[in-house]
Structure 1
């Protein structure tokens, strides 16, 4: 693809991702409450879901995706339910000093949570099915162009979410007292439960 077209796509996608949505909100809440453990797996799940939406849009399978709306509804509710489960665990999490080793996160479950949240995110679907064709000529898309766009998606999505995770991890260090950490855990749990409710209500 022309470099100008790739830059236009990257700028458009960056503008959509920078505005916090369900994926960013859930990631920040998780990192604030429990540190960076599991964050890379969650980000990977979100990126893979973005690539799924992109593939469906680029290969002209938007009608198939629309016909499978019920499947994506189930995924959306499953993602919301898992976020509620994580919120409940955060609320009940014991207060640990920052010097203590973080709890071992189940990478597989965090990956599935990121995947489900983004597959059930109407903003992601709208970008790839409605806005992508206005930025990229999908009719003339070659295999090389497809790979280039997929690489841009991985870099932009992973970079934005990784930046949010690192910023949340840095902010987390400001809270060192047990009382502050307890309220941070509960605040993160509340935000994550609110995100789950928002996803389920859409």
Structure 2
């Protein structure tokens, strides 16, 4: 399960790889549950027929799903959604049913490597140097002051047989990995209907993932 990642914040890279404009408020360099970070969804008015409206928009939301009925602190538990049960869990089922798909742009993720007998936080990146487009769900909650809190979660799948990701997490635990979309799947994921959603919940190729060397 991914509870720490490096968000993609560089405007030129967000535009080049995801077709969205830059971030308009401060975002931390490393994100944990309840931190605010960027996510990309289909534009709210993408279907109005106005060519001036882009197909995608970038928003800032809480890392961790916060449905209308929940307190913001629930995000500490809802930052990942298991693909096997996402359709039935109270925190996620409405967003799944409504195809509230999003892409979480990330430069890297962190997972614990237990092969030495203790957890070593390990920075994982794409081997081709491109950012990750992580498949997620989003929702919104109206706060007491009528402000809107957006929030998002990362979808996860089993990785027991994944040549790369099976090396992470405790030896006795099930191996999990986030769903990293292929580059040419971004638009299809954002526009997919509920019955089409599970097609995208696949393992990212192991040879396209690597450990980032430590920096001084």
- Shorter-chain TM-score bucket reads under 0.3
Higher helix share: 1
Larger Rg: 1
Q: TM-score w.r.t. structure 2 length?
A: 0.23
Higher strand share: 2
Q: TM-score w.r.t. structure 1 length?
A: 0.24
